[in-house]
Amino acid sequence: MVFDEFQEIANLDGEKIEKAMRASFQHHKRVAYLFAGSKRHLIYDMISDQNRAFYKMGKVMALPKIPREEFSQFLQDRFKKGNFTLENGVMEDILEVTEEYPYNTQFLCHAIWNFCLEEKVVKREAVDTVLNKILERESPIFLALWDGLSVHQRQVLQAIATGGGEKVFSKDFLQQEPLGALSSVPTSIRLLRRTDILDQ
């Protein structure tokens, strides 16, 4: 039995439901359970906190990204089945922008499909055009997220974006201005990860 996006249980009186599920599941025989979720930190919290029902309940496995070449071929095949012609480099552009995250890739490809549906030709500039339309449409959501951050979280996020997201706990990064007290940087990073604004 597969439970996808299992971390959403937290929105339904999670810990109480977790206890009821564990109490029931431990008596089942010849049944395998798979709990999957895209918010890794929430899933990790469920299985690593000894006070939670799913603590050490099973094997933990993090799925790596789909290899770019395979993902690109899969997407190209889908567009070809829809009788689309793709300009060279389009798939590389899409996967570069989405960083190969399946949800983001599917979202962008769906929008590109609809944008190019009439001519059935996907040119490289269509990727930028569609991406800009998506960003414009989604900007109220991004602004709401931004407004919900503390000043320090914004500063840390800007520093991470400017620095390319590498070595965020290094001495050089932690001494950047205007990040303030070094001890508060890991706290802000942890909170940004909890809200899925940052990913490791």
Strands 34-35, 2-3: pairing is parallel
Q: Is 57 domain-assigned?
A: no
Give mean pLDDT, residues 118-145.
95
Query: pLDDT digit string (tens) for 152-194?
Result: 899 889 888 887 777 777 777 777 666 777 778 888 888 888 7
What's the pLDDT score for residue 105? 96
Shared domain check, 83 and 110:
yes
Query: Does the residue 63 lie in any domain?
Result: no
pTM: 0.73
- The rounded distance, in Å, linking the Cα atoms of 112 and 98 is 13
Evaluate whether residue 20 is within a structural domain.
yes
Q: What one-character DSSP code corresponds to residue 63?
A: P
DSSP string computed for 140-157: HHHHHHHHTS-HHHHHHH
Contact yes or no for 155/179 (Cβ under 8 A): yes
Distance CA 171, CA 39 (A): 28
Q: Is residue 156 part of a domain?
A: yes
Range of the domain at 33: 2-48
What's the domain count of the chain?
3
The verdict on residue 60 lying in a domain is no
Asked whether residue 42 falls in the same domain as residue 10, the answer is yes
> Does any domain span residue 199?
no
**Residue 87 and residue 132 in one domain:** yes
The percent of residues above 90 in pLDDT, for the chain, comes to 41
Q: What are phi and psi of 122, to 5 degrees?
A: -110, 110
**177: DSSP letter:** T
User: When comparing pLDDT for 134 and 9, which is higher?
Assistant: 134
Nearest in space to 113 (alpha carbons), one of 88, 89, 96, 94:
94
Mean pLDDT, all residues of the chain? 87
Higher pLDDT, 131 or 175: 131
Instruction: Provide the β-strand partners of residue 3.
Output: 35
The pLDDT assigned to 46 comes to 79
Amino acid, single-letter form, for residue 196: D
Q: Are 137 and 176 members of one domain? A: no
Same domain, 152 and 117: no
Q: What per-residue confidence (pLDDT) applies to 84?
A: 97
Q: Within a domain: residue 43? A: yes
Residue 149 is predicted with a pLDDT of 94
Map tokens 């490289």 to a residue: 124
Predicted pLDDT at 98: 94
> Under 8 Å CB-to-CB from 179, ≥6 apart: which residues?
152, 155, 156, 159, 185
Among the listed residues 93, 33, 99, the one whose alpha carbon sits nearest the alpha carbon of residue 66: 99
Between residues 53 and 180, which one has the greater pLDDT? 53
Is residue 22 assigned to a domain? yes
Contact 68, 100 (CB under 8 A): yes
